[in-house]
Each structure stands twice: as structure tokens, then as C-alpha cells.
Structure 1
Amino acid sequence: MGIKGLQGFVTRVCPDACRTVDLKEVAEKHRIDHPDIPPVIVVDAMSCVRHWYTPESWVCGGQWREYLANLEAFIKAFTAAGITLVFYFDGVVEEKKRDEWIKRRWQNYKEIAALFQFVKTHRKQPGRGMFVLPSALPTFTRYALKSLGQKTVCTLKEADFEVAAYGLQHNCIGILGQDSDYLIYNTSPYFSIEKLCLDKLVTVMYCREALCRALGLSLTHLPLFACLLGNDVVPESLLEGFWSKCLATCPPRNKSYNRRTNVLLAVANYISRVPCSYSSLKHLEEMLPLGSDKTLLLRGMESYLLPGQHSPWIPPTAEHLKTFSAVEETAMCQDKEIFQLAKEQHIQSENYVVFNILCNGVIECSNSLEDDRDTEIPGQALIFRPVRQHVYSVLLEPGKGGACPSVKEWFVYFGNPLQQPEVIQPVQPPLPGGTPNLKTLWFAKGPEVEKQRYSTFLACFHLQDLMEELQALEAPVAGFCCLLAYLMLQVHSLSLEDLNAFVALVLCLRGKSASQLERLQLMEVDSRAVHLGAVFIRGLTTLLMANSACGFPFRMDDLMPWKVFDGKLFQEKYQRSHRSCSVEELLEGNESLYTPFQNLKSLICKACMAKKRTIQSRPRGRGFVAGAQQREFNPRFQQAHRSSFVPPYHNQMRGFLWRSPQPQGREHRMGYPDRRRRFHLPPRSPR
């Protein structure tokens, strides 16, 4: 979070602390001074994702291939300068910061509500001033960076602490981020991602020594300065009276300064007169209205103390750093082999949230771009809760009495006040013979175990009966179909038009490059499609979770959004489908996609038929036409529109979506209006 107003204060009041630096020159100096140690910058990725996401479209669910290309360009710029990057991501929300997390979620909730109101009113994306990160962007950024060969770390504590510690311990040339806490830690130089000019590798370095000179403080004072201004540990609400006293004894230096600037200067003036000792800290604790928890100030100070560092404010005997072994002793999973593997995979960004469950039985999910006024689509937290309950059952062994321990969920959705976690009970997935134990799923080898992993994964989505058909598909398409079938079963308001849009999306996306997707122009943005896009992306994170728990029947890379989703392309397919366009038009005139289109739809409908779910046609109108010209008609696409779609499934294992060619079955036509135009097969798009 950082200290409110400190970054702006440094820019306005302490210009000497803002120094333009050429990172290539910094790296070269490091190579001269340390010829055996390559120059490394440690990156606070969570404070960078907003700056990395530069695609023009952001509201539709994410331009994932464009984003991946941006990350690749970012890495190449540093690699060309001989600079190694190490990326850190928040792996936990510490309970001491839960109140702040909730506060931010409510703020995000209001921003998203305003966003949907704008989209409904204007049928377009708002300006960058209302920018909201695409759902799950930080999660998938981890895997994107790993896929690009980067060292990516998921933390066991708050990321800013581990970033600062890594920078100090590995003699990094700097920390790249946008968090004023890096002015407080006594660690590597702090470089601004916001001010970074990637082409030149020039940015601003915020100098903590210059800040100290401007404030009349020493580096030792900075943690106390941060705590007395309010941070993630010491709430600002407890400090108002103290600030007033400081302001009364320190007249404003400049009448043009706002109150926050004057508070910063007055607090610094107060601290400069306080002796650096533990007794001084105790005196402050007694003076401040800290309520029942008089250790707040001490804990706040300790949060800035990196491994190997000491502070005159903190007694050396204080057991301020909770060791991770103590956490391990109280973990929900007491099998050391399983716990250790989960921990290693967590740190290396190889699994998703299973370590948090095994460690302390707590899981959280931030806001998604969901329309809380759309009563037909439940919150994604509720849609995917049955899957999570099965995953909890896979991960957590029954205790005494045969009951699995419950899991605490902090999930943001309409109707959840976030006053306390929801306590969720695990539910066994519907597998004949029960669920394989975790050691089998994670450590055993052989084809039979691989089959168990896959069937357990599918059982979490109640799709184990489709195992043979899904295994015949390419892995990304199999994951896509698993998710889409589950959504069609769980959300009964989803229609034939929605199904058509999703299937056309995954087929047409395959041949499109990032630059082609960037050039795609939308005349309108549909708010329901925005909502569905966010739900789908959150569904992909649910696939990651189940995959991690079941021993990785899929490669994680096969479950990434850039393999199966693009926000603008989904908007186009959704709006075309809901104005009842022809299959030809939906598939962009590519005749080779027709059979895969039928096959994938038939597969989804087989799953729905087995659960007695009929997919109804519910076109929502409001015509939409993209810039491309309409193509001529091919009689092969002709079919009258039907009110519902529940065809028999035909296992046609052919086309590029399947692992190997199989005998072709009977074709099945889809419900779309007759468009009596001649069909021309367009050239294939470059891949």
C-alpha cells in the first residue's frame, strides 16, 4: 500500500530526491564494480501490472495476446541491456492487513458499478480515467512471465517485504515498482515503473538519503516516520489527534502546501527531536490512542526491518519475526512431504492457491468485472464454489470423526458484506470408489495415475463422463470445453447464442496474432458480454486451482487465457450471435471451422443432456456489425433457427482441434437463419 501522500510529497517538495537515471549506465557501473555479479533488478510485479497493461481495450475481459506481446517487449528491452529481472508477486494477504484489503475491495466495487453504468448508458468503453484491471490479470501475469523464461516468485509474506529483502541480500542494482514503502526500507535503490521510458531505459530513482536530508531525519528514523503517518499496520484513524499536536508545534513552511504535506513535515519535525531508543518508542505507544493493542507501533516498525538488520527502536531480544517453521507447525496439512512440495511450487509460481489452503485454510479472490444488477448471472464466486468445495476435499484429509476441515473464503460478490470470511465445507467429488489420496495424485507415476488425475479433475466439474472425448482434444481446447460445459450447466440463463459465441471465439482465435487482434474494432460494447467475459476468465483460474490440486493432469500453460480468449473478439462473436447471424459469418467465412464448430457444440450439449439441461435460444438483439465486409453464403451453413438445441453427440475426431484423426461421424447442422449468398473461403490468417 505504501504511505498515503508520500510519493507525491517527494515529487513536489523534495525534487532532489527524484533523480533521472539511465538504467543501462547503472548496469554498466555495476558490472565494473562487481564483474562476477550480473546486474539484477527485482520487480514488484503487483505495482507494475497496471503499467504493463497498455492494450487500448480493457473492459471486455482482456486482450491477452496483446498483453503477452507487451510483456515480451518489456523483458527484451532489459535483456538487451544485460539486465536480469526477477519478478515478485503477492502470495498471501496477511491477516494484519485484512481490513485494508476489505477497504480496497469496497472501493473497487464502487468503481466497477460506475463502470457498468457507463457501458450500459453509452455502449462503449469509458476513458482510461475509469480503468479497472481485467479480472485475474495479476494471476495470469505470473504464468505469462514464467512462459517467457523469467524467474517469478510468489511470496510467503507481503510482497514489498520480500522484494526489499531480495534486493538487499542479492546486491540488486534496484527495485522497480511504484510503492512508497520502498522509500522506507533500507534496501536497494527504488526505481519508478510509472516514469520508465522503456525505449531508452530511463526512469526516476527516488533517493531515500535525499528525502532524509529534506526532512531532517536519518535512515533509522524512516520506519517510525512511516508508522506515524499511517500504513498497513498502524491505521490513520488513530493518528489524527497526534497530527494535530504536531501541526500546532510546527508552523507551515509554505502557505501553498496542502494539509497532508504539512502533516508530513510536522511529523518529521517531531521525530527529529525524539531520541532513537526503545524507551522513546514505548513513550509514543503510551501517548498514542492505540486502544487495546499497544504493540501496533512496534509491529509497524518491525515490518520494515529486513533480515540481518537491527534498529535502535527495537530491542534485540524482541521476537518480532515470526519464523515460517512456526507457521508450518500450525498448518492444516501436517504431511511434511506434501506441505514442502506445495510450498516449493507456490514460491516458484507453479501451483495456484493450493498452498494457501494447505497452510492456513484461507483463500481470497478480489473483485471481478461483474454487473451486480444482472440478476440472471450469479457472482462468479458462487458459480465456481461447488468446484472449490470438491478441490478442498481433494486437498484436505478428514480429521477425527471423518470430517474434513472447513476453508475460510474471502470472495467479493454482490450480497457479501465481507465482515467475516464465509466458512465453506469440503464436498467429495463424485468419483466411484472415492477420491484418490493426495500422495497418489502428487507423487505416484504411471498411466493409471495419470488417468486418476484427469478423472479427479473432471469430477470436480461433474464432467467425468466426458473423459474420453475431452482427452481426444488438444489440451487448451479440452480445458476450454470443460469450463464452458460447466458454465452452461451452472448458469441456466446462458443461451444457445452464448454457447455459439464462445465456441466461435475459441475456433477463430487460433489463427490470429496479437497485431490482428489489436486492429479489431468494435462499434459497441455490450455490458452482458463484459460480465460473461469476466466470469469466463475467473473460470480459468478455477481450472488452475483444480489442476494444481489434482497433480497437474494439464500443463498450466494449456489453461492460459491467451490460448482460448480475447475480449474484443468475444464481444464481436457475442453480438453477432445475438443478432442471429449465420454460422458462416460467425466463423468469418472459414469453411474449415464448420465441423469443429459442430463437434464442440455437440460435446457441450452432450454434457448438458446428461444433466437434463436444455439450452434455449434467447437472442438479445441490438444489431452489431464490425468493420469487416459480410461474406457470401455457402449452402453448407444453411439451417433454420430453432428455439432450443439438444442434439445427439457425435464423436467426430477430426480437424486441427483433435490430437489425432479419427473416423468422421454424421454431421450435425446448427440453428442459424438462411443467408442466400455464395461462400468464398478466405485465406488462412498467419499464426
Structure 2
Amino acid sequence: MRLRDCRLVIDGCSLYFRLYFNSGLDQARGGDYDTFVVLVRQFFAALSECSVQPFVVLDGGMDQTDKKFRTLQERAQSKIREANALSRGSHGCVLPLLVCEVFKQVLSELGIPLVQCISEADFEIASLAKHWGCPVLTNDSDFYIFDLKGGYLPFSFFQWNNISGKATERYIPARNFTVNRFCSHFNHMNKQLLPLFAVVIGNDYTPAKITEVFFSRVEFERVPSGRKYGRSSSRVEGFLLWLSQFTSPGDALDEVLEILSEQRKGTLRTQLSAGMQDYQLPHSSSLAQYFSSPQPALPDAQGLPAALVSQPEWLLRMVASGRL
């Protein structure tokens, strides 16, 4: 697509990771912040040149339910290994400690609208994009599952440093993924089956054991010949074609549970259903109100953990504005 003259919801964490790691900036000696600042400014200047209005949403703290704790633990251990490798002159990817702070400072200087969520931002980003009907820019594979009218722009195909078009019609070349187009490739499957696909194939919340047990027992039809994929991709494609035979998520979930044949089927049903619910977006987003008010209203207090509901308004405002 040719991205121009529209709103764009941006996953802030994906953006600063991408800008830092894809530019060959120093990781081994504490960070190359001055060059990073130049990159951030260039990125938002490119959006401005194409009349794209950015709205940046950042992750906050850990989820109070600790449902992602194991994943966070594994990432932290991986980061330690990579830092150790870097310190010995080997290869590794470690984001310097102050990149997020520098990123927020530059956005503040540029006057770019920004909100920091209480915990993980994916759901809020998707809800806001759905509310406005505009695209999302991120690198998070969960956005292949959210049903967004404006679509998902993966960073890999977002050519912000390759602006094209006449002076009055400048645009950024990008690729736009939509759930409807995706499902049409798999026998026009019901798009409501995608959340079940996500929780079974393995996201940050599904225990790896469930995924392995399911794929060790299920039998798929042969994937059409002529498509050259590795084991992981053929597993994905086989599972999507298998799911396309079901008309509703309920029927497909029953069959998944039958294949897993766990003794505690009720517990597993609850677990998988809760994971699927994470992809069901509301009709409106509290962040739309936050971004449209001259004096931003606080993001929806209903979603706050109990410990934060009683906190003073100034503290919650500072969290939301990324200053705390």
C-alpha cells in the first residue's frame, strides 16, 4: 500500500527495538544514544512528510496476573546469555538500558502523542486501531490474529526511509496484512477460528507442552505440493487447513480437547478459552478519548489493578504520560 494522509497507531516498544537493532548501533559499550536520537527524529519526520499522524503506545509494567511470567523469565535468561557473549567479543543482541527513556524524551520534544499502558500494550494498541479504523505499525505476530479494519503493517515491509511520490502526494511504501485476505487463502475459513489457532500453535501464554502434545497426536492432510516450507511452516499451514473444516470456534475447540484427551479437560478448556478471549476487541477504546482531549482524561480505570485504583490522579497521569 501507499501510506499517506491517515492516522497510524504505533507499537512504541517495537519501534525503538527495530530502529536500534537495524541500524548497527553499538550494544557492547553502553549505547549509541546520540545517533539513535537522530534516527528517531528522521523516522517521525518521514511520517510528517506523508501527512501520517502517529500515536505511540508503550508497554508498562508486568501483568498483575503473572500469566506471562515464564516467558519473561526465559527472555531475561536469554538476555543474560547474549550480554555475556557480547562482553567476550561474540555476537548477541542486547538493548542498552536507557533506549526507552531516550525514545520517550525525543517524542516529548517533538510533541508526538504518547501513552504508556499499565501493563502490556498489545490489546490497547489493537483496540485503538479498531476504534479509529486505522492501521497498526508493529513487529508483533499477535497482530496477525487481531481483526483490524485498517490492517497490520509489519515493520519488515515498512519503507519509511524510501519515501516516494510527487511533492504533494508523498507516501511510504508498505505492506498491509488483513485477516480477511489471510483467511481467504485457507478455504475462506471463519476468521473467528484464528484466536484458537494462536493459543494452540503457541503464544506467550500457552504452555509449550500443550502445543507439543497436540501436534504429536493430530493428523493433517498433506499440504499441497509445490509449496516449499520448513517443518514449522508446514505445521502452521497444515493446522490452518485443518481448522478451516470447522464452522465455529466452539466445534474446533471441542475437537482440540478431544485430541489432547486430558483428564482435566475442564481446566484445559478454561485455559484455552481465556487465551482466545485475549483477541476479542471491544467496540471502543478508552485511549481514543485520552488522545483526543486537550487535557487528557485518564485511561479507563476499570482495567486498573486493585492496587492502583486507590492511587492519586497525579501518579496515574505520570504513568500514562510515560514520565514514571
Q: Using the alignment, how far apart are the partners of 2:261 and 2:76 within structure 1?
A: 27
Deviation digits for residues 360-383 of structure 1 (CA, Å, limit 9, x no counterpart): xxxxxxxxxxxxxxxxxxxxxxxx
Asked if structure 2 preserves the Cα contact closer than 8 Å seen for 1:233 and 1:299, the reply is: no
- With over 3 angstroms needed to count, the CA separation of the structure-2 counterparts of 1:112 and 1:307, relative to structure 1, is same
Within 5 Å, give how 1:218-617 maps onto structure 2.
218-246=190-218, 248-254=219-225, 256-278=228-250, 280-282=252-254, 284-285=256-257, 287-288=259-260, 293-294=267-268, 295-308=270-283, 324-325=301-302, 327-328=304-305, 330-331=306-307, 336=310, 338-351=311-324
Asked if structure 2 preserves the Cα contact closer than 8 Å seen for 1:228 and 1:267, the reply is: no
Corresponding position: 1:209 with 2:176: no
What residue number does 2:79 align with? 108
What residue number does 1:178 align with? 139
Q: Which amino acid aligns with 2:321?
A: Q
What residue number does 1:65 align with? 34
Asked if structure 2 preserves the Cα contact closer than 8 Å seen for 1:89 and 1:142, the reply is: no
- Measured after TM superposition, the shift of residue 290 of structure 1 is 6.6
Corresponding position: 1:199 with 2:124: no
What residue number does 2:126 align with? 164
- Measured after TM superposition, the shift of residue 166 of structure 1 is 0.7
What residue number does 1:393 align with? none
- Measured after TM superposition, the shift of residue 326 of structure 1 is 6.9
What residue number does 1:409 align with? none
Asked if structure 2 preserves the Cα contact closer than 8 Å seen for 1:91 and 1:159, the reply is: yes
Task: Give the unaligned 5+ runs of structure 1.
Answer: 1-20, 28-38, 119-125, 310-322, 352-687
Q: Using the alignment, how far apart are the partners of 2:100 and 2:186 within structure 1?
A: 35
**Larger relative contact order, structure 1 or 2 (CA cutoff 8 Å, min sep 6):** 2
Query: Normalising by the residue count of structure 1, what TM-score does the alignment of the two structures yield?
Result: 0.40
What residue number does 1:484 align with? none
Q: Which amino acid aligns with 1:191?
A: L
- Measured after TM superposition, the shift of residue 206 of structure 1 is 2.3
- Measured after TM superposition, the shift of residue 81 of structure 1 is 1.3
What residue number does 1:46 align with? 13
Q: Which amino acid aligns with 1:223?
A: P
Deviation digits for residues 241-293 of structure 1 (CA, Å, limit 9, x no counterpart): 221333x3322334742211121122112212223154653553464367864
Runs (4+) of structure 1 moved beyond 6 Å? none
Corresponding position: 1:144 with 2:106: yes
What residue number does 1:509 align with? none
Deviation digits for residues 73-122 of structure 1 (CA, Å, limit 9, x no counterpart): 1111111111110111111222111110111111111111111111xxxx
Corresponding residue to 1:83 among 43, 52, 72: 52
Asked if structure 1 preserves the Cα contact closer than 8 Å seen for 2:200 and 2:211, the reply is: yes
- Measured after TM superposition, the shift of residue 237 of structure 1 is 2.2
Instruction: Tell me the matched-pair count.
Output: 290
- With over 3 angstroms needed to count, the CA separation of the structure-2 counterparts of 1:327 and 1:148, relative to structure 1, is closer
Q: Counterpart of 1:88 in 2: which secondary structure?
A: strand
Asked if structure 2 preserves the Cα contact closer than 8 Å seen for 1:184 and 1:226, the reply is: yes
User: Highest Rg: 1 or 2?
Assistant: 1
Asked if structure 1 preserves the Cα contact closer than 8 Å seen for 2:10 and 2:137, the reply is: yes
Asked if structure 1 preserves the Cα contact closer than 8 Å seen for 2:193 and 2:249, the reply is: no
Query: Normalising by the residue count of structure 2, what TM-score does the alignment of the two structures yield?
Result: 0.81
- With over 3 angstroms needed to count, the CA separation of the structure-2 counterparts of 1:207 and 1:259, relative to structure 1, is same
Q: Using the alignment, how far apart are the partners of 2:53 and 2:263 within structure 1?
A: 46
- Measured after TM superposition, the shift of residue 69 of structure 1 is 1.6
Q: Using the alignment, how far apart are the partners of 1:66 and 1:136 within structure 2?
A: 13
Q: Using the alignment, how far apart are the partners of 1:96 and 1:221 within structure 2?
A: 22
RMSD of aligned C-alpha atoms? Answer: 2.5
Q: Using the alignment, how far apart are the partners of 2:62 and 2:178 within structure 1?
A: 29
* Percent identity of paired positions between Structure 1 and Structure 2: 22
Q: Counterpart of 1:205 in 2: which secondary structure?
A: coil
Q: Which amino acid aligns with 1:284?
A: V
